[in-house]
Chains A and B, each alone.
Chain A
Amino acid sequence: MTDQQPAIRTSHLQMQYGATRVLDDVTVTIGRGEVVALLGPNGAGKTTTIEILEGFRVPSAGEVSVLGETPHTAGEHWRARVGVVLQSWRDHGKWRVGEFLDYLGMYYADYATPEVERPWPTTDLIERVGLGGKTLRRLDRLSGGERRRLDVAVGLLGRPEVLFLDEPTAGFDPQARRDFHELVRSLSDLETTILLTTHDLTEAELLASRILVLAGGTIVADGSPDDLRDRMSATASVRFRRDGRLHTESTEDPVAYLRTVLAEPGEIEDLEVRRASLEEAYLTLVHQVETGAETDPARFGILPDGPGPDDEADDSTESPEREGA
């Protein structure tokens, strides 16, 4: 825990399936304890990126290091330091919540240290993820939201140094989504580095202290939500009435514009200066990057997919809770 290596570092990461290039050049460094959202439209390569970091895929080119090791060649000891929460898990349907966590927890017992208790005691963990009272519930009787909470519990069993969450709220109703956001935010005191993928800007803003925007196979923006707002929303719209007539103007320098407007004669009423919202800026950005693709920013979230095998993954998450046993 004390080494100075960053939690995650990639350099010129590329992923190619046949003739299709999904990742072009992903270069990013994530420090210990950061909570980072990997944001991008469907088909941008989010799932591919996170699967490379989880060690489930071998990149075509480039370097990748998670906790100082190359994920796809790292051993079980590395595995014990990493927590993974995937989309669309429906395994162990007949098991009960408590016995499931007890069983998986056994594997972490060898990794306990005098400072860190491993596995995380099941009863505490069940409370922590908000499944209190459901210890004896069968897994296939949990709701979609509860199921994902349990997945998070499994991800946390070994008190990992890095936790990956792939589209954790895909298919949730608004209440389940809000509850899940609460849970993720409550994890910030764990000193665990968290990387989550999402195509929902609001979710990224709510949960992460840093947002990486992935589009067209590369990171096109990187910063805190405020940074991104400053950097990406360069334009402001100015609205006012002069002598009863409505004027609107879009400008990069509202102050200079207003100086000239106010210097002119006439009575100014209903003056309004509005920064373009982060969402507008994000959509513009993604639209610019995805040249060639016929994107309609207004329909963001259900953008037509770019090429690449991880499209399927992104698409099929629309309603995981529909899934039965």
Chain B
Amino acid sequence: MTTVVRAGLRRAKIELRLQIMSPMVLVALLGPAIMLGILWWLRDSPVMDSALSVGQFLVPAYLAFGIISGGVLGVSGEITTERDDGTLLRAKTVPHAMTGHLIAKFFASIVTTLLPMAVIIIGAAFLVEGVTPTTAWGWIRLLLLSILTIAAMLPLGAVLGSVFKGPIALLWTTMVIYGLCAVSGLFYPVTALPGWLQAIAQIFPVYWLGLGFRSVILPAEAVALEIGESWRTWETFGMLGIWVVIGLVLAPIALRRMSRRQSGSALASARERVLTRGY
């Protein structure tokens, strides 16, 4: 078993090196850079007559969004690509390599998700007031929350990447998730939404991700903008915990099902599709 873990770590290292050396890293950093620009620009506009500025309110939103896009969209996109180019089939032909592959994906995704978040939190600390935890306990809570939310998002990304076939399906996934972000009160207070929409939003993890980050990052007064004027810390952990469990149950099933369907001819027809349709 240690062999598999070592091989997985080796793979994670190589994949991370390739990502950091590629021009894509600039694109990945462009997002946080633009976000920081917006934060600075909106640092003085108040949110709904509160003492809170839009700039402040957006910091936890960006952190939550970073975890969602890195964890869910990043991982599902990678799995779709790896299925079409034969990476997963390759792993299937080598003993235990599929397990090693997932271990690598797990570690590499944590790093690639946390890096842009670090850029945002450090940048925001300089640009906007009152957006960093003020106590050591606050930082620890931020770290714990990041780990919990990544743990909730990665398996969901693996499930979506395994279930949906091809880039078009991925586009739909992306749109659904953006839609969820829109109704989950990530970018403006959830209490500004109609009650039925609030009820729907609370089923999905996106809302709880946002709430969690707001509770850790924003000053205590900001709780006035939340449902029931409470941070609902226990509910947040409970709901995210449930989504972690759902992900961990579904991910192996979905991955195994997808992996079973990998074969040379499945790969060839994917290739054919790319050659004839261009995607």
Contacts and interface: CB of A to CB of B under 8 A. Distances in A.
A121 B6 CA distance: 18
Contact of B14 (A56, A86, A90, A103): A103
A54 B14 CA distance: 29
B100 A107 contact: yes
B202 interface: no
A125 to B, nearest CB: 14
A310 B265 contact: yes
Contacts of B179: none
Interface stretch (A72-80, A205-213, A214-222): A72-80
A139 B93 CA distance: 18
A158 B10 CA distance: 19
Interface in A70-121: 76-77, 79-80, 83-84, 86-95, 99, 103-104, 106-111
A56 B264 contact: yes
A312 B86 contact: no
Interface in B231-279: 262-265, 267-269, 271-272, 275
Nearest to A311: B265
A54 B89 CA distance: 12
B260 to A, nearest CB: 9
Nearest to B92: A56
Interface residues of B, number: 32
Contact of A91 (B7, B85, B264): B85
Contacts of A94: 18, 22
Nearest to A90: B85
Contact of A99 (B14, B89, B264, B267): B14
A84 B265 contact: no
B90 A89 contact: yes
B228 interface: no
A33 interface: no
Interface in A166-186: 166
Contact of B265 (A51, A155, A323): A51
Nearest to B18: A94
A323 B271 contact: yes
A47 B265 contact: yes
B64 to A, nearest CB: 31
Q: Which 7 A-B pairs have the closest CB atoms?
A: A313-B265, A56-B263, A91-B87, A106-B7, A76-B95, A80-B95, A313-B268
